Amino acid sequence: MSIEVVLLGTGNPLPDPARAGAATLVRAGERMYLFDAGRAVCMRLVAAGALPMMLDAVILTHLHSDHICDLGDVVTTQWVMCMQPKTLPIYGPPGTQAVVDGLTAMLAPDVGYRRAHHADLDWDPQLEVHETEPGVVIDDAGVRIIAAASDHRPVEPTLAYRIEHDGRAVVIAGDTVPCAGLDELCAGADVYVQTVLRDDLVRLVPAPRFQDTIDYHSTVEQAAQTAERAGVGTLVLTHQVPGPAAGAADEWVAIAQRVFRGRVVFGEDLTRVTADGP
């Protein structure tokens, strides 16, 4: 196995009992990275056979609440489960430091309580924030992670990422419409994970706030066009908007297959997709 992708959470901002919030685990060689940290991420990490203290980094695509709302749980769980101090690197776009500073302030009472109660827990959470620009973000142990600008305006800046290892490549796009940065990352990728929207269904809901989501997410057709244009091997549909009805997966896949000639995977929580080694 070269790179494994586990969809920890495929939900959108509206609570869904069957879908956790936006989060994706990527295992590449000996490294393990968490992309985004939405609702219930730690529960899904455990279900995927991982724990926060096993992570080599948390990497954020953007700072929308549904992609970061359980970052505090990741930080706290990593801290209390480690038997000795261990730094948790957090990568994200400009603004990430301010978010982590606010998170640290929020957690301060709990940190004080736990340190007072546990004599062997004599350090605070060790966090190392890297505000990331397009380019190489990580190059370590045979794994290279490259960031490029995505387009989720008015949310900006936002980033998509390409993970390369052992001759294989996976792209975690996050929330974005088609753009040059996404095309650059997706070129020749084995797996492309894209949050998607069905504009035909969203337009049926007479709520302006809901219809506003159309202009800053890729539709299923647009994701398929990006995948086809880039020569991607597998397109993975995640973070579906609106939340899919039971039994609707084939319909979503069929829409993508009208455009994209490769494999299409409809994401459910804990779906696994592998970019196999040569």
- Annotated catalytic residues are 66
Could you write out the DSSP letters of every residue in 58-122? Answer: EE-S---HHHHTTHHHHHHHHHHH-SS---EEEEESTTHHHHHHHHHHHHHHHHHHHHHH-TT--
| Tokens representing residue 112 in the block | 């004080």
Q: How far apart are CA 44 and CA 146, in angstroms?
A: 25
Q: Is the dihedral of CA 238, 240, 243, 245 positive or negative?
A: negative
Residue 39: name the closest of 61, 59, 18 by CA.
Answer: 18
Name the one residue in this structure whose structure tokens are 């337009």.
203
Residue 233: which residues within 8 A CB-CB, separation 6 or more? 189, 190, 191, 262, 263, 275
The phi, psi pair for 155, rounded to 5°, reads: -75, 120
Q: Looking at the DSSP assignment, which residues form a beta bridge with residue 218?
A: 196
User: What is the C-alpha separation between 43 and 232, in angstroms, rounded?
Assistant: 31
Tell me if residue 241 falls in helix, strand or coil. Answer: strand
Q: How far apart are CA 157 and CA 131, in angstroms?
A: 11
